[in-house]
Amino acid sequence: MGDAVTVVITGASSGIGRATARLFAKDGAQLVLAGRDEGTLEAVAAECRGRGATAISVRTDVSSEADVDRLAEAAIERFGRIDVWVGNASLYSFGTFEQTPSEVFDRLIAVNLLGQVYGARAALRVFRSQGRGVLVSVASVYSRITSPLVSPYVTSKFGLLGFLEVLRMELRDVPGIHVCAVLPATIDTPIHQHAANFTGRPVRPLPPVTDPVRVARAIVRVSRRPRRLTQVGRVQSMFVYARALAPALYEPVIARAYLAMALKSGSLPISPGNVFEADRQVTGVTGGWRLLPWLRRTPGR
């Protein structure tokens, strides 16, 4: 592959970001790993070094443009360039719009949407100076469909996909710079354990739940062969077409099904989850959801 590829990954502490770091590490990439907790990040960096990568960790809150700029500067200072920028940091929240505190709603927009905007701005400055680079933004199937209880997440992901589409149009005549969107469906990561929850009830992901390594593979793949949009998770991606073809039917059916499947019986104290503070305990690649038989993805991934 020639010189080692330099890759920045935000949200590298767990889930899809950590899985992506591992895959790039196997190829001997030069990694710049970003997240909110230094200890967890350094553990991921050490893991990647053990897999053959050169890796540094940079504590970053992507809702701060100054932090994101420092992240890009750290990558240039250490490795001299950025070949791939993976925007992956994301927060999640359960609750109706009226149940969700305004500061939580605003925080999800700041991280999930503005964090990607700041990352794109920092990456493009570098890409333009180099004449090349690949921006890979992890959006969501929720960039194209809706359900109850996740209004800030859906708002942020709809906005992100629109932003990426405009950005791609503006860069259409710039050879060497590519903008890619990856849209995962329900993935077995700790995001549900990390999520804020204002419903007063336990929650669970909608089946089927997909291995996060599949998303990581898609990210690595489009970084090498850029593609405008890649969806991961065939079953739930079908709802994109259902919503487009029959919105009047889609809304009541999905609303009832989501509330029935996502909310478990019992009670749970409301919690802001990891919205304002990083979770230092649950930092693995998976959330353990595929261990539950009814949530498993069907064979043949």
Q: Cα separation of 209 and 42, whole Å? A: 28
Contacts of 22 (CB under 8 A, 6+ apart): 47, 48, 51, 216, 285
Cβ–Cβ < 8 Å for 89, 68: no
Q: Give me the sign of the Cα torsion angle 183, 186, 189, 195.
A: positive
Let me know if 26 is a catalytic residue.
no
Catalytic residue among 13, 118, 153, 156: 153
The Cα diameter of the chain in Å comes to: 56
Question: Which residues lie below 8 Å from residue 113, measured CB to CB, with a gap of 6+?
Answer: 155, 156, 159, 160, 163
Q: If you write DSSP's letter for every residue of 40-74 in order, what string do you get? A: HHHHHHHHHHHTT-EEEEEE--TT-HHHHHHHHHH
- Buried-exposed string 168-205: b where 16+ CB fall within 10 A, e elsewhere: beebeeeeebbbbbbbbbbbbbbbbbbbbbbbeeebbb
Nearest to 283 by CA among 5, 17, 8: 17
Is 153 one of the catalytic residues? yes
Which run of H or of E encompasses 192? helix 191-194
Instruction: Indicate which residue of 57, 137, 157, 223 is catalytic.
Output: 157
Sole residue written with tokens 């990568």: 53
Considering 140, 147, 151, 223, which one is annotated as catalytic? 140
Active site residue 140: yes
What is the C-alpha to C-alpha distance for residues 31 and 177, in angstroms, rounded to an integer?
A: 20
List, by residue number, the catalytic residues: 140, 153, 157
